Chain A
Amino acid sequence: MSEIIRWTAAELGAKLAAGEVSSVEATQAHLDRIAAVDGDVHAFLHVNEHALDAAAEIDRRRAAGEQLGELAGVPLAIKDVLVTTDQPSTSGSRILEGYRSPFDATVVARSRAAGLVGIGKTNMDEFAMGSSTEHSAYGPTHNPWDLDRIPGGSGGGSAAAVAAFEAPLALGSDTGGSIRQPAHVTGTVGIKPTYGGVSRYGAIALASSLDQVGPVSRTVLDAGLLHDVIGGHDPKDSTSLPEAWPSFAAAAREGATGQVLQGLKVGVIKELPDSGFQSGVASSFHAALKLMEAQGAEIVEISAPHFEYGVAAYYLILPAEASSNLAKFDSVRFGLRVTPDGGGTVEDVMSLTREVGFGPEVKRRIILGTYALSAGYYDAYYGSAQKVRTLIQQDFDAAFAQVDVIATPSAPTTAFKLGEKIGDPLQMYLNDLTTIPANLAGVPGISVPSGLAEEDGLPVGIQFLAPAREDARLYRVGAALETLLVDAWGGPLLDRAPILGGNR
């Protein structure tokens, strides 16, 4: 397989800048890879037919002597939740099949401006509701480590694309763990920025107060480079933070070389005992902590007594906001329209369209959300859930008074088999146990591969959480641990992933 696709984004960017490879070559190599393996992986819903044109344009500008950014000419996969003018955007749903947005998401526009080459739109659970990408209306994505297993969700497509070397970088979105949990099950890196750190303009909304857009990559540095491109204030998103951010790529570089771990206080949550995790996940987690301790980090037990209510609160807030955000899909202005036989009123058309166009998980959550907001139930459900949010923020505040970062396994289990949990929504919801609190509180989180689980040889990720606005700290710590681990492994974890390519 072409060596180009094995390079990290940082390596590829450097070689592009040095003229050792052209963007057209690099893009073609990745398109070839997609052609070779995506029949099995199904990470992509759409491959960009204009990718080579965009790549050629970057090459032309570079040849003309223009100063381009570090990632110029590097292919980028884009989660289909982000709207693009040059490719359809479906959010993994039938109701948006073929939809063409007249505007680009801000993160897409910034990526374009930085010279990144959009190579395709990636698969996801419908409207980002799910933890396995099995709820995509277009069929599931398969985990490159084991094609019978889930790649995580909702951003399974982006994580799988990167893990399968179909693209060095991807954009994802994270509402309850949709970047971090797929990173965990695919042995890749994913970050959920501080809420407001990256613009949500153009990200098809799920739960407005929980959604964040973030980078998906194979290394912490790559994620930092992409985060630098997409992050920062956007006047089109009222919830985006106004302040300027430090360079995350610089933070990653610092973490990789420096003494970040010396004296670092790492909090471990006592209310998340090992018994709640698959044993291989727990042991990988502890092994990583040991490695950090050896470098001078201090592991501190902390208490987060309200985290146990996190999943419940989340599954009230999310459906409530989602039920309102998804009301716009009504057959009138865009998207699917299904007319009953013999015609019908617009109300009939709306109802039938939504019945046909939405999958079962989406319908489940819309109805749950409608219920949670309805008169008489608001205080007990939505209102109460927003209070749990306050309590969880307080837990975090108290914890961060004692520690610099909090560490947890990124998810309770390794990649489960396709079809294993799809019949039991409650079981599925528990996948987000460790990731949800960060979305509720708005704090940033990163998942970095920590190893393979002994019992099944499948990837495990470790999650770090930092106080709001301290995203750079996660890059420093993540990069530091990554360096130690890759060193210990003798190479990146993904080197051990099975060879893909037309075997099925």
Chain B
Amino acid sequence: MAAVKLMDFDKALELFEPVLGFEVHVELNTETKMFSDAPNPANERNHDAEPNTLIAPVDLGLPGSLPVVNEKAVRSSISLGLALGCSIAESCRFARKNYFYPDLGKNYQISQYDEPIAFEGSVEVQLEDGTLVTIPIERAHMEEDAGKLTHMGGATGRIQGAEYSLVDYNRAGVPLVEIVTKPIFGAEHRAPEIAKAYVAAIRDIVRGLGISEARLERGNLRCDANVSLRPRGQEKLGTRTETKNVNSMRSVERAVRYEIQRQAAILADGGSITQETRHWHEDTGTTSPGRPKSDADDYRYFPEPDLLPVQPPRELVEELRAALPEQPVARRRRLKADWGFGDIEFQGVVNAGLLDEVEATIAAGTTADAARKWWTGEISRIANEREVDATSLIAPASVAALQQLVDAGTLTDKLARQVLEGVIAGEGTPQQVVDARGLAVVSDDGALIAAIDEALAAQPDVLAKIKDGKVQAAGAVIGAVMKAMKGQADAARVRELILERAAQ
């Protein structure tokens, strides 16, 4: 296969202006599906269900079956619309999007066409250096998900070359909210970053609302990235491609970057961009063409006759608006101020995705600085080493308990790090680890003095030097004592005692 030509990113940006667009699908975590009362696999409790065990007749399109709208899904959709700064429709209908595909139970998807439940909003998104970008939202509408196909018999497990496919309809009917942005101008060099930050923002919003597990790797949040380029100075928008299968934050950023480079190379060579759907391949870091996309793809939309219009009462909308949690950006402003962190310190926490953990640790009883120090320091270090999420290692309450032991003088920082490893290893709470491993700082002066005397006996000239005024000489003794005590001593206290000794 001929290697795809890519233009250098900066050069591409010199010649062309990228215009972005995103369609993000959010799987809601309601108990049941959008139009059937089968259990919802996007709800945490059902996520590893066996194939075809979460099925109601309408999910398979069984003759005679009918859809009935899930009220909770509607409420969640309204809340999401409000969180996106949208207006909520006074009246909206569902529509059938008709097409044939084996993962559709009915060979039509119940969606919303020209009457979305939410429209005209915007989302403030924060980049890693703190820059704020406003993303305009065109609409958010309700629809249902399709089933899952597994392609068998081919070499790659992908659709091309497969001999047959197996279908699991568990996911058919899962409630989805599709969020569509307006074209995003002015992203320039930061286009890839902005893409990533936007998806992260959506994830934070839906998690904050509690309406979705929002795990990209599980497909709870799916992003299609639209990219087009137009030559600098040109009014007319370029042809756009839609890239699907971007399953992680990293992929979103990389895919946008790649498409800009790929399209720039083609355009610079005098070629033209095919309007098409492309697939992102994480392993090769490239996109490949899928189906040619046509605006004339005829889905024959018509209002869903089996369902009635949804007319959210204004009181309900206001009730949901009042119940909205704080917006992520506003929340961050508040926390930064409360904690008294500087820009870099605070961004460090945010970029590491540890804001919630730090907040929870503080709530469990530590200072902001201590919480930050643990999470972005030792815990992150261990997490990176093991290539896991920091949040999976230890609970905020344990971190707070650990710090409290340090504050109480039971542990030194160094000992605390040992205890931390023990807690992470599952040996128990910080106190339990301390007890089990006997790591508490020895606070018995008698024991310390005994160790000091031993050390002094071994280094007789030190005492003389200290009496002489050379206090630094104590350092050697402290070291010896700490070693003898296996670190379980407060170095400062040891020093005090040595000096007392010397003064005698």
Could you tell me which A residues sit within 8 Å of B by CB distance?
82-83, 89, 91, 96, 99, 101-103, 105, 200-205, 207-209, 235-239, 320-321, 323-324, 327-328, 330, 332-334, 346-347, 350, 370, 373-375, 378, 382
B300 proximity list for chain A (CB < 8 A): 323-324, 370, 373-375, 378
Is B64's CB under 8 angstroms from A203's CB? yes
Best-buried of A82, A323, A373 by chain B (most CB within 10 Å):
A373
In the assembled complex, the Cα of A367 lies from the Cα of B298 at a distance in Å of 14
Assuming A327-B100, A333-B60, is B66 touching A237 (CB within 8 A)?
Answer: yes
A321 proximity list for chain B (CB < 8 A): 302, 305
Is A201's CB under 8 angstroms from B165's CB? no
Instruction: Tell yes or no: B98 within 8 A of A by CB.
Output: yes
- A–B pairs, 17, beta carbons within 8 Å: A82-B64, A89-B64, A201-B65, A202-B64, A205-B66, A208-B306, A236-B66, A237-B68, A238-B67, A239-B306, A321-B302, A324-B302, A327-B98, A330-B100, A346-B102, A375-B296, A375-B300
- CB nearest to B149 among chain A residues: A346
Closest 8 A-B residue pairs measured CB to CB?
A327-B107, A373-B300, A208-B305, A328-B61, A202-B64, A209-B305, A204-B63, A83-B64
In the assembled complex, the Cα of A382 lies from the Cα of B63 at a distance in Å of 24
- CB nearest to A211 among chain B residues: B305
Is B298's CB under 8 angstroms from A83's CB? no
In the assembled complex, the Cα of A323 lies from the Cα of B96 at a distance in Å of 12
Instruction: Tell yes or no: B307 within 8 A of A by CB.
Output: yes
B167 proximity list for chain A (CB < 8 A): 332
| Distance (whole angstroms) from the CB of B368 to the closest CB of chain A | 52
Is B308's CB under 8 angstroms from A239's CB? yes
Is B68's CB under 8 angstroms from A89's CB? no
Further 10 A-B residue pairs, CB within 8 A, beyond A204-B63, A208-B306, A330-B102 = A83-B62, A83-B64, A103-B62, A201-B65, A207-B305, A324-B300, A327-B98, A327-B108, A330-B107, A346-B102
Tell which of A200, A238, A374 touches B298, judged by Cβ atoms closer than 8 Å. Answer: A374
Is A328's CB under 8 angstroms from B308's CB? no
Could you tell me which B residues sit within 8 Å of A by CB distance?
57, 60-69, 96, 98, 100, 102, 105-108, 165, 167, 169, 296, 298, 300-302, 305-308
Is A236's CB under 8 angstroms from B68's CB? yes
Is A373's CB under 8 angstroms from B68's CB? no
| Distance (whole angstroms) from the CB of B4 to the closest CB of chain A | 28
B305 proximity list for chain A (CB < 8 A): 207-209, 239, 321
A346 proximity list for chain B (CB < 8 A): 102, 165
- CB nearest to B57 among chain A residues: A103
In the assembled complex, the Cα of A101 lies from the Cα of B68 at a distance in Å of 19
In the assembled complex, the Cα of A328 lies from the Cα of B64 at a distance in Å of 11
- CB nearest to A320 among chain B residues: B302
| Distance (whole angstroms) from the CB of A475 to the closest CB of chain B | 27
In the assembled complex, the Cα of A328 lies from the Cα of B100 at a distance in Å of 9
Assuming A332-B102, A374-B300, is B64 touching A101 (CB within 8 A)?
Answer: yes
A382 proximity list for chain B (CB < 8 A): 302
| Distance (whole angstroms) from the CB of B72 to the closest CB of chain A | 16
| Distance (whole angstroms) from the CB of B455 to the closest CB of chain A | 81
Tell which of A235, A327, A330, A378 touches B68, judged by Cβ atoms closer than 8 Å. Answer: A235
- CB nearest to A108 among chain B residues: B64
In the assembled complex, the Cα of A330 lies from the Cα of B62 at a distance in Å of 12
- CB nearest to A203 among chain B residues: B64
In the assembled complex, the Cα of A321 lies from the Cα of B62 at a distance in Å of 17
Is B102's CB under 8 angstroms from A324's CB? no
- CB nearest to A331 among chain B residues: B102
In the assembled complex, the Cα of A91 lies from the Cα of B63 at a distance in Å of 9
B65 proximity list for chain A (CB < 8 A): 103, 201-202
Tell which of B66, B68, B105, B302 touches A328, judged by Cβ atoms closer than 8 Å. Answer: B105
In the assembled complex, the Cα of A200 lies from the Cα of B298 at a distance in Å of 29
Tell which of B61, B69, B98 touches A373, judged by Cβ atoms closer than 8 Å. Answer: B98
Assuming A238-B68, A238-B308, A346-B165, is B63 touching A324 (CB within 8 A)?
Answer: no
A209 proximity list for chain B (CB < 8 A): 305
A236 proximity list for chain B (CB < 8 A): 66, 68
In the assembled complex, the Cα of A247 lies from the Cα of B300 at a distance in Å of 42
- CB nearest to A207 among chain B residues: B305
| Distance (whole angstroms) from the CB of A70 to the closest CB of chain B | 27
B61 proximity list for chain A (CB < 8 A): 328, 333
In the assembled complex, the Cα of A103 lies from the Cα of B300 at a distance in Å of 30
Is A327's CB under 8 angstroms from B106's CB? yes
| Distance (whole angstroms) from the CB of A231 to the closest CB of chain B | 17
A91 proximity list for chain B (CB < 8 A): 63
In the assembled complex, the Cα of A99 lies from the Cα of B65 at a distance in Å of 14
B62 proximity list for chain A (CB < 8 A): 83, 101-103, 333-334
B105 proximity list for chain A (CB < 8 A): 328, 333
B69 proximity list for chain A (CB < 8 A): 238
- CB nearest to A334 among chain B residues: B62
In the assembled complex, the Cα of A333 lies from the Cα of B300 at a distance in Å of 23
Tell which of A101, A238, A320 touches B306, judged by Cβ atoms closer than 8 Å. Answer: A238
| Distance (whole angstroms) from the CB of A227 to the closest CB of chain B | 20
Best-buried of A99, A328, A330, A334 by chain B (most CB within 10 Å):
A328
- CB nearest to B37 among chain A residues: A236
Is B100's CB under 8 angstroms from A373's CB? no
In the assembled complex, the Cα of A239 lies from the Cα of B167 at a distance in Å of 31
In the assembled complex, the Cα of A207 lies from the Cα of B67 at a distance in Å of 15
| Distance (whole angstroms) from the CB of B108 to the closest CB of chain A | 6
In the assembled complex, the Cα of A91 lies from the Cα of B64 at a distance in Å of 10
Assuming A324-B96, A350-B100, is B108 touching A205 (CB within 8 A)?
Answer: no
| Distance (whole angstroms) from the CB of B115 to the closest CB of chain A | 15
| Distance (whole angstroms) from the CB of B490 to the closest CB of chain A | 70
Best-buried of B102, B307, B308 by chain A (most CB within 10 Å):
B102
Is B108's CB under 8 angstroms from A324's CB? yes
| Distance (whole angstroms) from the CB of B309 to the closest CB of chain A | 11
A334 proximity list for chain B (CB < 8 A): 60, 62-63
B63 proximity list for chain A (CB < 8 A): 83, 89, 91, 96, 99, 101, 204-205, 328, 334
| Distance (whole angstroms) from the CB of B106 to the closest CB of chain A | 5
A323 proximity list for chain B (CB < 8 A): 98, 300
In the assembled complex, the Cα of A370 lies from the Cα of B302 at a distance in Å of 11
Is A201's CB under 8 angstroms from B302's CB? no
| Distance (whole angstroms) from the CB of B475 to the closest CB of chain A | 79
- CB nearest to A82 among chain B residues: B64
Assuming A103-B57, A327-B100, is B307 touching A238 (CB within 8 A)?
Answer: yes
In the assembled complex, the Cα of A238 lies from the Cα of B169 at a distance in Å of 23
| Distance (whole angstroms) from the CB of A269 to the closest CB of chain B | 27
B308 proximity list for chain A (CB < 8 A): 238-239
In the assembled complex, the Cα of A103 lies from the Cα of B62 at a distance in Å of 9
A332 proximity list for chain B (CB < 8 A): 102, 167
A374 proximity list for chain B (CB < 8 A): 298, 300
| Distance (whole angstroms) from the CB of A387 to the closest CB of chain B | 13
A82 proximity list for chain B (CB < 8 A): 64
In the assembled complex, the Cα of A83 lies from the Cα of B306 at a distance in Å of 18
In the assembled complex, the Cα of A10 lies from the Cα of B288 at a distance in Å of 70
A235 proximity list for chain B (CB < 8 A): 68
- CB nearest to A346 among chain B residues: B102
A201 proximity list for chain B (CB < 8 A): 64-66
In the assembled complex, the Cα of A296 lies from the Cα of B24 at a distance in Å of 68
- CB nearest to B99 among chain A residues: A327
In the assembled complex, the Cα of A375 lies from the Cα of B97 at a distance in Å of 12
In the assembled complex, the Cα of A236 lies from the Cα of B108 at a distance in Å of 19
| Distance (whole angstroms) from the CB of B82 to the closest CB of chain A | 25
| Distance (whole angstroms) from the CB of A333 to the closest CB of chain B | 5
Best-buried of B67, B68, B100, B298 by chain A (most CB within 10 Å):
B100
A347 proximity list for chain B (CB < 8 A): 100
Tell which of B64, B106, B169, B302 touches A378, judged by Cβ atoms closer than 8 Å. Answer: B302
Is B107's CB under 8 angstroms from A328's CB? yes
A330 proximity list for chain B (CB < 8 A): 100, 102, 107
In the assembled complex, the Cα of A332 lies from the Cα of B66 at a distance in Å of 19
Best-buried of A101, A332, A374, A378 by chain B (most CB within 10 Å):
A332
In the assembled complex, the Cα of A249 lies from the Cα of B421 at a distance in Å of 79
Best-buried of B105, B106, B296, B307 by chain A (most CB within 10 Å):
B106
